[in-house]
Amino acid sequence: MRSLRSILVTGGAGFIGSTLVRQLLNRPDVEKITVLDALTNTGNSNNLKGPDQDPRFTFIEGDIRDQKRVSQSLIEHQCTAIMNLAAESHVDQSIEKPHDFIDTNVGGMMSILSAARPLNIPVLQCSTGKVYGSVNFPRRLDESARLRPSSPYSASKAGADLLIHAAHVTYGQDVVIARCTNIYGPRQHRDKLIPTLIFHALRDQPLPIYGSGQQIRDWIHVEDCAQGLIAALERGRPNRVYHLGSKTEHTNIGIARHILKHLHKPESLISHIEDRPGHDSRHALDPTLALNELRWRARIPFRSGFDHVVRELAAHLRPTEPA
């Protein structure tokens, strides 16, 4: 078992990172959590309100591409592990600005690996099932599947995963990768699919759906995801990849309909827009290895978890009343 005594969470001010930080602080064996985050467009220090009151918590505004900064943070806080959640994470933006994604997701990974190596600090990488590209029904991919990323985002994540593998083979670094499916939950950035649909529905505006909306995604709650990341760091075997998924498949248009029903809005608000180039039609991960080796499985049922999250996000995204 790896120690959770003092963890550096890079990207901890983002959607998944801020939930991970909360869960780590709930653990009695955690003595110190240090968040290093550049607070880009998706990062927000408000996401860490609450955890920032814990005496075990420290926030550093900094960039994972700055290897010196990462090294200093590891040394100063006597870290026992790094969990990397820092990334450029929006697929649409990766099509507009692919260089930024390579810089952060690949260059940042290189810097983290280089900083961790001389200190013998294990690295847990939060990766994505998107690295495999589209998967035909009814197949589900295990961790040995070929990487065939379709977007600059998923290619940059695949590039980072390959660097991690090479760091283990070449230098013997202790590394683990968790490839997550689609995640829903509180504090997700407004520009992502679910918050966007809720935002528009609350204003009776058209809900933009790419193409037919028949793209299939597997969804897990962010709390389940964070549990899986912790399990992968604690119990994951060196240089192993683990799939964090739940086999809960929904089409994007199904998600939109669910939101509209929950918010008592008409389905006529759904508006089909031109499909995204390189849009994967289906993602499907087989999470059996995570169950067998990490004893992890997604526990929050989609039905209740999703309704709760729609309510929570809607409370923040409602139009403010004119004064």
User: Cβ distance 270 to 213 under 8 Å?
Assistant: yes
Q: Which of 8, 9, 81, 86 binds ligand NAD (CB under 6 A)?
A: 86
Q: How far is the CB of 321 from ligand NAD (least distance, A)?
A: 28
Q: Which of 3, 23, 31, 40 binds ligand NAD (CB under 6 A)?
A: 40
Q: How many residues bind ligand NAD (CB under 6 A)?
A: 30
Q: According to the binding rule CB under 6 A, does residue 305 interact with ligand NAD? A: no
Q: Which amino acid is at 176?
A: V
Give the closest residue to 103 by CA, choosing from 93, 111, 95. 111
From the centroid of its chain, how far is CA 202?
A: 26
- Which residue is listed with tokens 């490839």? 179
Q: According to the binding rule CB under 6 A, does residue 173 interact with ligand NAD? A: no
Q: How far is the CB of 14 from ligand NAD (least distance, A)?
A: 2
Number of Cβ within a 10 Å radius of residue 75: 12
307 vs 196: CA distance, rounded Å:
16
Q: According to the binding rule CB under 6 A, does residue 63 interact with ligand NAD? A: yes
Q: According to the binding rule CB under 6 A, does residue 195 interact with ligand NAD? A: no
Q: According to the binding rule CB under 6 A, does residue 11 interact with ligand NAD? A: yes
Q: According to the binding rule CB under 6 A, does residue 85 interact with ligand NAD? A: yes
Q: According to the binding rule CB under 6 A, does residue 185 interact with ligand NAD? A: no
Counting Cα atoms < 13 Å in the Cβ hemisphere of 191 gives 10
- Pattern of binders to ligand NAD over 88-117, x per CB under 6 A? xx--------------x---x---------
Token couple for 37: 């985050």
| Cis omega (within 30 of 0) for bond into 186 | no
Q: Which of 7, 9, 16, 112 binds ligand NAD (CB under 6 A)?
A: 16
Count of residues making up the chain: 323
Q: How far is the CB of 236 from ligand NAD (least distance, A)?
A: 16
119 vs 5: CA distance, rounded Å:
15
Interface contacts to ligand NAD, rule CB under 6 A: 10-11, 13-17, 37-40, 42-43, 63-65, 85-89, 104, 108, 126, 128, 157, 180, 182-183, 189
